[in-house]
Amino acid sequence: MSITRRSACDLVDDLSAGRLSARDLMAATLDRIAEVNPEVNAIVALRDADALMAEAEALDRAGPRGPLHGLPIAVKDLANVRGIVTSQGSPIHRDTVAAEDDLIVARMRNAGAILIGKTNVPEFGLGSHTFNPVYGHTSNPYDRSRTCGGSSGGAAVALATGMTALADGSDMMGSLRNPATWNNVYGFRPTWGRVDGGGPGDRYLHRLSTLGPMGRSPEDIALFLDVLARGAPFRDEPGSLPPVSPIAAADLRGKRIGWLGTWGDAMPFEPGIIARCRATLDCLADLGASVTEVDPPFDAEAIFQSWCTLRSWQIGASLKHDSDHRDMMKDSAQWELARGEALSAFEVHDASVVRSDWLRCAEALFEKFDALVLPGAQIWPFPVDIDYPRSINDQPMDTYHRWMHVMVPVSLIGLPALAMPSGFGENGLPMGVQIFGRMGADADILAIGAAYHAATQWPQNRPAMA
């Protein structure tokens, strides 16, 4: 196995023990980026190679620095990295150079990571299709005519192609899970609040988006999650969530898994997806889990409409500082901004009541099940030259993100969810599932994922060779 395909846990062990130098890993990383990135365009704003080699050599001289000692990481281009452009994929910010690190980035740097550049995103992170007018589109490494998803699309492709061993991302609607599903890697949305992104602005009202890790195994994800969550406020509170790493594979005998499938046909799916996802359920059953089909537990349309209101409220608030340049925004950003501006306080309240009702319903479900499973996408990766799918199986999509409806039940109430690879369809494209649990069950979900990964090893058995 090439050095850039190795697990992050193994690399850090060897780097810290001196069996591998940060210099050699950086050289291999830059060689891999030069070989692959021109084909997929996942890493953008790459720093100068000489400066990166010098930083790696300085780490070798200084000795072990932290849990990510010597690992090259490219940061999602929605976060600020000191001295690097933070474009957010928008022409409004194409020349905006960050003066300092965001808190989440400072945690990576303090843990010993070498920050090599950025990973590409959709404009403002909107829509699960990574393209923008600043850097262009990022291609799926299993079929370069197809999308890689998003908004953590560049991150997923960097992992799938062996350009990095870890990647950070963020997830509002499904931005860690959808690209993981479409690139044969793992993406983890933590319990809301586990990873505090810090920074200015509201910290109370907008409880939708979260930062989180991506990797080629649940064990690597656990390693990175503890770094991202380091120093988060809950760590000092009684009964706070403990660290999750190292993760050991769970014994699945007796584990109760609920399969929500198509949510009683409330959501359309392209042919072949449900069958592919059922293969994951079969594997979990073979490992000893009890898998049960679950009837629709809540009105799917009510969940989606609550989501649309709360999302537009949050995105509209985040875009209002750029509202004087709305003519430079893509259509979906203008749509979200206009909806956010038009909302009343009572409309927001009513949407949050629905969210609360769904949370209570989900909490009751977790009295019966250790985890629930939904498909990781409703469609296969679509052509890279369209902005978003207008229909699924001839059923029209009424918004630019309706085709991601399957992500919303998790996102709306902030549950921990792991996107796991399910293998490949007859079209040769990746698919996956999202397995999720009660709030705070991050370690339990990752441990189930580790048992599944030990049995399947999809990222290792079918690596992207782009």
Question: What pLDDT score does 200 carry?
Answer: 74
φ, ψ for residue 202 (rounded to 5)? -65, 140
Picking from 170, 165, 164, the residue whose alpha carbon sits closest to that of residue 152 is 170
What does the alpha-carbon distance between residue 185 and residue 179 come to, in Å, rounded to a whole number? 8
Report DSSP letters for 219-264, one per residue.
HHHHHHHHHHTTT-GGGGSTTPPPP-PSP-----TT-EEEE-TTTT
Mean pLDDT over the full length of the chain: 95
* Distance between CA atoms of residues 397 and 401, nearest Å: 8
Q: For the stretch 38-55, what's the b/e string if a residue is b when 16 or more beta carbons lie within 10 angstroms of its beta carbon?
A: eebbbbbbbbeeeebbeb
Could you tell me what percent of the chain has a pLDDT over 90? 91
Angle between helices 442-456 and 218-228 (to 10 degrees): 150
Q: How many residues does the chain have?
A: 466
- The arithmetic mean of pLDDT across residues 49-73, rounded, is 96
Question: Is pLDDT larger for residue 67 or for residue 206?
Answer: 67
If we measure between CA atoms, which residue out of 261, 289, 263 comes closest to residue 276?
261
- Which residue's structure tokens are 């009202």? 205
In the prediction, which pLDDT does 70 show?
Answer: 98
Q: For residue 218, what pLDDT band results from cuts at 50, 70 and 90? A: very high
Q: How high is the pLDDT of residue 391? A: 98
Choose among 403, 139, 425: nearest CA to 271: 425
- What per-residue confidence (pLDDT) applies to 234? 40
Nearest one of 232, 251, 228 to 240, comparing CA atoms: 232
Q: Average pLDDT, stretch 205-211?
A: 91
Tokens of 457: 């090893």
pLDDT at position 237 is 42
- Set out the domains of the chain in order of their start, with CATH numbers: 3-461 (3.90.1300.10)
pLDDT tens per residue, range 370-422: 999 999 999 999 999 999 999 999 999 999 999 999 999 999 999 999 999 99
Please report, for residues 16, 71, 103, 107, 223, the alpha-carbon distance to residue 68 in angstroms, rounded to integers and kept in the order given: 9, 6, 16, 10, 8
Q: In what order do the strands lie in the sheet with 417-424?
A: 166-171, 210-215, 186-189, 417-424, 430-436, 371-375, 256-259, 290-293
- Cβ density class 110-123: b for 16+ within 10 Å, e for less: bbbbbbbbbbbbbb
Contact 177, 171 (CB under 8 A): yes
Tell me how far apart the alpha carbons of residues 163 and 80 are, in angstroms, rounded to a whole number: 21
pLDDT band at 257 (very low <50, low <70, confident <90, very high): very high
Task: Look at residue 227 in the predicted model and tell me its pLDDT.
Answer: 96
Considering only 179-188, 192-201, 216-225, 407-416, which range has the smallest mean pLDDT?
A: 192-201
DSSP state of 206: -
> Band of the pLDDT at 240, cuts 50, 70, 90?
low
Residue 236 confidence class, pLDDT cut points 50, 70, 90: very low
**Cβ count within 10 A of residue 66:** 18
Label residue 203 by pLDDT band (50, 70, 90): confident
The H or E element spanning position 119 is strand 114-119
For the chain, the first-to-last Cα distance in angstroms comes to 16
Q: What is the band of 231 on the pLDDT scale with cuts at 50, 70, 90? A: low
Looking at residue 11, what DSSP letter applies? H
pLDDT of residue 205: 85
Alpha carbon dihedral 382, 312, 420, 418, in 10-degree steps, equals 170
Report pLDDT for 320. 86
Q: Tell me, what's the pLDDT at 322?
A: 85
The model's pTM: 0.96
Average pLDDT in the 179-190 region?
98
In the structure encoding, which two tokens stand for residue 90, read together?
A: 């928008």
Q: Tokens 């198509």 appear where?
A: 262
